[in-house]
């Protein structure tokens, strides 16, 4: 019974399900660096059954994760969002992952929202995806939930 309760109480972030990716999805990863949370990457790969592909992948993808840190150029973030969205098939999930407030590289709360707006996207409320990283899902203007 305790095991069952433990499974029921697992958060979606422990299973990577809140990203909206599904088994067989090809997920493209942008701006990887050695500071990323490999557990997030592993959970996405476990969920999809596929390895993440990098920004040089030249076919349509089913989802995108984009690692973003403060100090990177906000205009470059807008450009990267546009580039990532261009290869995203069927309006799949596009996530910007940022260090949580108080962590090294944490951007101001308005940085991703401003860059998303410039790129023609809406930014959702940040979601905790690990101990050190938040995720912000972006959607094109006019797209539903």
pLDDT, tens only, 64-111: 999 999 886 678 899 999 999 999 977 799 999 999 999 999 998 789
Place of tokens 């990887």: 32
| 25, 59 contact by CB (below 8 A) | no
Please give the CATH superfamily to which domain 21-140 belongs: Vaccinia Virus protein VP39 (3.40.50.150)
Per-residue pLDDT band at 144 (split at 50, 70, 90): low
pTM for the model:
0.85
Residue 123: Cβ-neighbour burial (10 angstroms; 0-12, 13-18, 19+): buried
Domain borders along the chain are 21-140
């Amino acid at each position: 019974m305790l095991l069952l309760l433990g499974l029921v109480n697992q958060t979606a972030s422990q299973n990577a399900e809140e990203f909206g990716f599904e088994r067989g999805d090809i997920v493209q990863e942008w701006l990887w660096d050695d500071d990323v949370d490999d557990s997030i990457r592993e959970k996405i790969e476990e969920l999809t059954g596929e390895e993440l592909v990098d920004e040089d992948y030249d076919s349509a993808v089913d989802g995108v994760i984009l690692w973003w840190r403060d100090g990177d150029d906000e205009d470059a973030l807008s450009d990267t969002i546009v580039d990532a969205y261009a290869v995203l098939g069927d309006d799949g999930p596009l996530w910007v992952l940022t260090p949580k407030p108080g962590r090294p590289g944490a951007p101001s709360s308005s940085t991703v929202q401003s860059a998303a707006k410039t790129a023609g996207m809406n930014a959702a409320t940040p979601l905790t995806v690990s101990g050190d990283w938040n995720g912000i899902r972006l959607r094109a203007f006019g797209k539903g939930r």
